[in-house]
Amino acid sequence: MLSRTLSTRFLLACMLALGVLLLLPPMASALVPKDGGPAPGTETRITTSPGDEYDPAISGNLIVYSSYRSTSTDVYYYNLATGLETQVTNAVGDQELSDVNNGRIVYTDLETLDVLLYDPATGSSTNLTPERPVSINPCISGDIVAWEDVDQGSQQVYARDIVTGELRQLSNNPDVNGKPATDGRTVVWEAGSNTTATCSVHAYDWASGTSRMLASNLDGDFRRPDVSGDKVVYDGMVNGERDIYCYDLATDTVRHLELPGVQIDTNVSGDYVCFEDLSSGMYHLGIWDLATDTVYWVHANDAAGQYLNDIDGHRLVYTDDRDGQLDIYMRTFDVRPPTLTVTSPVQGAVYTKYDTPVAQWSAVDDYSGVASSGDIASGQALPMTPGTHTVTFWATDGFGNRASIDRTYTVQNVGLSLFPAPGATLPFGDVTVGQAVTQIVTATNSGQAPLWISAATTSTTPAAFSVSGGGVLLNPGQAVDLAVRFAPTTTAVLSGALHVEGCDATSHAAYPLGLADIVLTGRGVSAELPPNQAAQKLLVDYNAAIANGTLWGSGSGVCAALRVKAMRCMIEATGDYIARGNKTMARILLNLVIDCCDGQPPDFVSGPARQPICDEAKALLKSIGG
């Protein structure tokens, strides 16, 4: 393991020179389709020096890397917030193989074979392994620093709590234990068998002080692990092809990312796993989104190679050889579109054209933010023309990832037809006082939405007109007969109106259909008596009108009294002739009575009762054939 460590830059140079042919599988295809395509995002070049920079690590705003600019290798870091590069080491010999976490840097001094901790705030380094003979290849997360430790031919993994100073030996087996990684809670490493030349993957829980094997070299060759939370990732060769694996510490389950060609050197941060892919003939980088099982690619088609990567959240750092030397680049990526939440309309909602629903929705993005959204804004009224509508709610983030949700809803037309038609007149004619006549008005739901039917009448005389049959729910196409009743209580010409409304099926609130009322007309008439009784009633009504002062003789004095008496005599004689069956003489006398009170001179009587007496005489005349 030490020889590999000491020759990192040399191996990179060999890869460039040989085109990595030694690592490619036979008959590898030049291009392999990838599910997610290029990873949306932006690339930033970090280093521009004339030397080689490689083996980057990132945490927050700090990127640490090894740099070969003269005759030895040193450690530098770049601050993304300030844009400044700082040299960490300037000692004799080589210093490289570094890591960074939460503003603290660890690196290997290959001159003294120690692991050192560097504080950017003070610019000072502290030796973490003064008591150990050979300590290299450190990693750091939280307060835990782990490294490869060689003592008397045994290579084990050690770790130290940099706050308490506690030193622990994590591995204790005859294998070659190395390439540790930690997230501050768990330390993982590979253990290479001295007999089979294959590796297994182990994990050590710092809190409990226990370790376990995650992948056995009896099942394959598993190398280069990394850890973030419950996710441990590593590359493994089973059945002749090297792929990426993810072990879940919480569920003890393994996910296998099976892609064409060879994939190696994994790193993980949250749900994002980055790795090196050799399937196209060059080293390129892939990003496996564990949440969606989608793989995205960084420079998958470039002639240059990218390798030795690290990831922190949405930032990926790597070594790139596009300019004929090794430089550090950073890819800021966002592969997930915004998350959309649509609360209105719900899928399949049904409205009427008089409803007033509005769109209610929101979009949030976990990283690059929502850059643009929707053809329809939240709070905006939905289109309400009758028919079926599909509204697309969409949003894009800062890197162009687009999410959309379709909502389909139906707007129903509301219609109510009446027969007779609104505004028509419904005549009832003459109806005897005390009796009633009913006519039918048919209401039909001519729309697409259920309707609650409400019906009411008004009239000049209370209760003369009424309606029944309302207060019913009609589905589209259904009809109800509304029974309109005319029951006069007085002898007069009466009028009214029938008001019909179509209402919401649930709230019974009336829709603004604008239907005109149907006009109702009718006349209340007296009940028809037998002629002899009608003649007696006419005489009684005449005498009562004279007595109560609503009828009097025309003129003055003796003439007026004589006219009243003469008219009374004609009415009495009419009754006598009817009683004797002499309708001819009765008709002659009734015509004289009518001429004396029809309002045309010379009338015998005057007063408010004159016309009712005249009408009563006419009715009697009609009943005896006059």
* Each residue's pLDDT tens digit, 130-140: 999 999 999 99
Residue 19 confidence (pLDDT) above 90 = no
CATH 3.90.550.10 given to domain 339-412: no
Q: State mean pLDDT over 121-137.
A: 96
Buried b (16+ CB within 10 A) or exposed e, 513-544: bebebbebebbbbeeeeebeebbbebeebbee
Domain covering 416-525 assigned CATH 2.60.40.10 in the classification: yes
User: Is the pLDDT at 13 greater than 90, yes or no?
Assistant: no
What is the Cα–Cα distance from 178 to 190, expressed in whole angstroms?
A: 6
pLDDT at 43: 95
Q: What is the mean pLDDT of residues 381-400?
A: 96
User: Is residue 24 predicted with pLDDT exceeding 80?
Assistant: no
pLDDT digit string (tens) for 315-366?
A: 999 999 999 999 999 999 999 999 999 999 999 999 999 999 999 999 999 8
Give the model confidence (pLDDT) of 296-316 as tens digits: 999 877 889 998 789 999 999
The 3-class secondary structure across 581-597, one letter per residue, is CCHHHHHHHHHHHHHCC
Please report the beta strands in 381-476, taking only residues with DSSP state E, as ranges in sequence order.
387-397, 402-412, 416-419, 425-432, 437-445, 451-459, 465-468, 472-474
Measure the CA–CA gap between 8 and 152, rounded to whole angstroms. Answer: 24
pLDDT in tens, 405-438: 999 999 999 999 999 999 999 999 999 998 999 9
From its phi and psi, is residue 285 left (phi > 0), alpha (psi between -120 and 50) or beta? beta
In this prediction, residues 604-612 reach a mean pLDDT of: 90
CB 54 within 8 A of CB 66: yes
pLDDT at 34: 58
- Fold of the 2-333 domain: Neuraminidase (2.120.10)
pLDDT at 280: 86
Mean pLDDT calculated for residue range 254-272? 94
Mean pLDDT taken over the chain: 90
Confidence category of residue 143, pLDDT binned at 50, 70, 90: very high
CA 91, distance to chain mean position in Å, is 60
How would residue 11 be classed by pLDDT, with cut points 50, 70 and 90? very low
Q: Is residue 4 over pLDDT 70? A: no
The per-residue pLDDT for 601 is 85
Give per-residue pLDDT as tens, 28-81.
222 233 578 999 999 999 999 989 999 999 999 999 999 998 889 999 999 999
Average pLDDT over residues 531-539: 91
- pLDDT, residue 23, reads 32
Instruction: State yes or no: pLDDT of 10 exceeds 90.
Output: no
Least confident of 107-111, 176-180, 615-619: 615-619
Query: What is each CA distance from 392 to 337, 352, 373, 400, 407, in whole angstroms?
Result: 15, 21, 11, 17, 6
- The tens digit of pLDDT for each residue in 77-98 reads 999 999 999 999 998 999 998 9
In terms of C-beta distances under 8 Å and separation of at least 24 residues, what long-range contacts does 618-621 make, across chains too? 618/594, 619/526, 619/528, 619/534, 620/531, 620/534, 620/535, 620/538, 620/574, 620/590, 621/587, 621/590, 621/591, 621/594
Q: What kind and span of H or E run contains 16?
A: helix 8-18
